[in-house]
């Protein structure tokens, strides 16, 4: 039996003139050009389907905490009793504001007093895509997670943050001691092809990296408190970065900490799927066939066809969710 489970969604309207004006005042702080890419702040016309999917597929959720700079979609029913609007100023210490760094926004979530111990964190490009139960995310109040070791293959700047996360885990944990004491979680046949990687990881003294699915995470609020207690200087430093920096860590360290502490239950490797927006046919199929519980649609615009792809995905969502949810006016 699980305790109540809240859902946290982070959202930004990168077209808000007040937000843009304020952001320009601090753009001299940008050290990593990708952290200020306009695509990162682009609102999607498909966001209303995020709420429709939650209402259809996850009505067991206790409350939705909508994290925002201050703006909300004009169609959002802010009076819905299951919806809690939380501004950055409501929980992030003043010395870290304003912030345009998602790591800061997420690493400080434990400061939201009303947020439950068990919560799920999604970004606005991560959608429920099939019927779910609380046990899909928590089991006996432990977060469902993957516990898959995978060497970091550096291809992009984001891998710096993954490396920083892994360095922190190696500082605090002896992987061999944990994987042997919790061997049923790390060497299960349910891991499929990743079982081989976990077995080979035995021969290395440290943690090489983790398989990150980018389909949302189940979190324990107490783990945030614990890591802030263990690493206050590091987290204070990251929280002072108004924009992402290569020296940042992310909220994935909370997930990794739970894994290394054995405070997790194994998640199915078929639980969700990450797509790039140009994989339109695959995304349309995932929306229609309910194969995955969660899908992530990464709205990269590498070939300049974002609007074309987004419109096709919009049509798929509209076909699946034609009716308004109670979260819409």
Structure confidence by residue, pLDDT tens digits, 303-317 = 678 888 999 999 999
Average pLDDT over residues 20-39: 74
Confidence of residue 40 (pLDDT cuts 50, 70, 90): low
Residue 129 has pLDDT above 60, yes or no: yes
pTM: 0.94
More confident residue, 197 or 221: 221
Which of 21, 58, 169 has the alpha carbon at shortest distance from 9?
A: 58
The pLDDT of residue 302 is above 70: no
Asked whether the CA dihedral 69, 71, 73, 78 is positive or negative, the reply is: positive
Peptide bond before residue 232 is cis, with ω within 30 degrees of 0: no
pLDDT digits (tens, 9 = 90+) for 75-105: 999 999 999 999 999 999 999 999 999 999 9
Instruction: Using the predicted structure, report yes or no on whether residue 36 has a pLDDT greater than 80.
Output: no
Average pLDDT over residues 109-138: 98
What average pLDDT is seen over the chain? 92
pLDDT of residue 156: 83
In this prediction, residue 311 carries a pLDDT of 92
In this prediction, residue 64 has a pLDDT band, given cuts at 50, 70 and 90, of: very high
Average pLDDT over residues 122-151: 96
Q: What confidence score (pLDDT) does residue 292 get?
A: 98
**Per-residue pLDDT for 229 more than 90?**
yes
Identify the pLDDT of residue 253. 98
User: For position 179, what pLDDT does the model report?
Assistant: 64
The CATH number of 5-320 is which of 1.20.1530, 3.30.70, 1.10.3470, 3.90.550?
A: 3.90.550
- pLDDT at residue 103, rounded to an integer: 98
| Stretch 4-30: mean pLDDT | 92
Q: In the structure, what pLDDT confidence band is assigned to residue 134 with cuts at 50, 70 and 90?
A: very high
Kindly indicate the confidence band of residue 127, based on its pLDDT and cuts at 50, 70 and 90.
Answer: very high
Q: Where along the chain do its domains lie?
A: 5-320
- Res 38 pLDDT > 70: no
pLDDT, one tens digit per residue, over 264-285 is 999 999 999 999 999 999 999 9
Separation between Cα atoms, residue 161 and residue 209, nearest integer Å: 11
Say what the pLDDT of residue 33 is: 57
Query: Which pLDDT score is estimated for 139?
Result: 96
Task: Please compute the mean of the pLDDT values over residues 131-146 and round it to a whole number.
Answer: 97
pLDDT at 32 over 80: no
- pLDDT tens-digit series, residues 149-196: 999 988 888 899 999 999 999 999 986 666 667 888 888 887 889 999
Alpha helices in 206-298 (DSSP H): 221-230, 232-239, 252-261, 280-289
Per cent of the chain over pLDDT 90 is 78
């Amino acid at each position: 039996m699980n305790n109540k489970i809240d859902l946290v969604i982070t959202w930004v309207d990168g077209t808000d003139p007040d937000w843009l004006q304020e952001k320009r005042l601090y753009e001299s702080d940008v050290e990593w050009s990708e952290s200020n890419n306009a695509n990162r702040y682009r609102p999607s016309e498909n966001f209303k389907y995020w709420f429709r999917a939650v209402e259809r597929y996850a009505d067991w959720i206790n409350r939705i905490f909508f994290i925002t700079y201050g703006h909300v979609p004009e169609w959002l029913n802010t009076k819905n009793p299951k919806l809690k609007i939380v501004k950055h100023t409501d929980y992030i210490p003043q010395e870290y504001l304003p912030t345009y760094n998602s790591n800061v926004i997420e690493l400080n979530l434990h400061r939201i007093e009303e947020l439950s111990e068990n919560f799920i964190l999604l970004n606005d490009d991560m959608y429920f895509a099939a019927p779910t139960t609380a046990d899909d995310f928590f089991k006996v109040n432990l977060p469902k997670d993957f516990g898959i070791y995978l060497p970091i293959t550096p291809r992009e700047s984001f891998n710096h943050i993954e490396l920083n996360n892994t360095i922190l885990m190696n500082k605090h944990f002896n992987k061999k001691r944990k994987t042997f004491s919790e061997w049923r979680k790390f060497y299960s046949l349910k891991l499929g092809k990743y079982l081989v990687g976990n077995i080979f990881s035995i021969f290395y003294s440290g943690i090489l990296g983790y398989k990150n699915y980018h389909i949302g995470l189940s979190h324990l609020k107490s783990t945030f408190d614990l890591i802030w207690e263990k690493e206050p200087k590091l987290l204070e430093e990251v929280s002072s970065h108004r924009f992402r920096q290569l020296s940042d860590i992310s909220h994935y360290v909370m997930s990794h900490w739970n894994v290394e502490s054995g405070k997790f239950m194994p998640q199915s490797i078929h639980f969700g799927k990450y797509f790039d927006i140009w994989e339109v046919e695959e995304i349309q199929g995932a929306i229609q066939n309910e194969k995955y519980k969660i899908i992530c649609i990464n709205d990269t615009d590498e070939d300049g066809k974002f609007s074309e792809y987004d419109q096709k995905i919009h049509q798929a969502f509209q076909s699946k969710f034609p009716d308004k949810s109670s979260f819409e006016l």
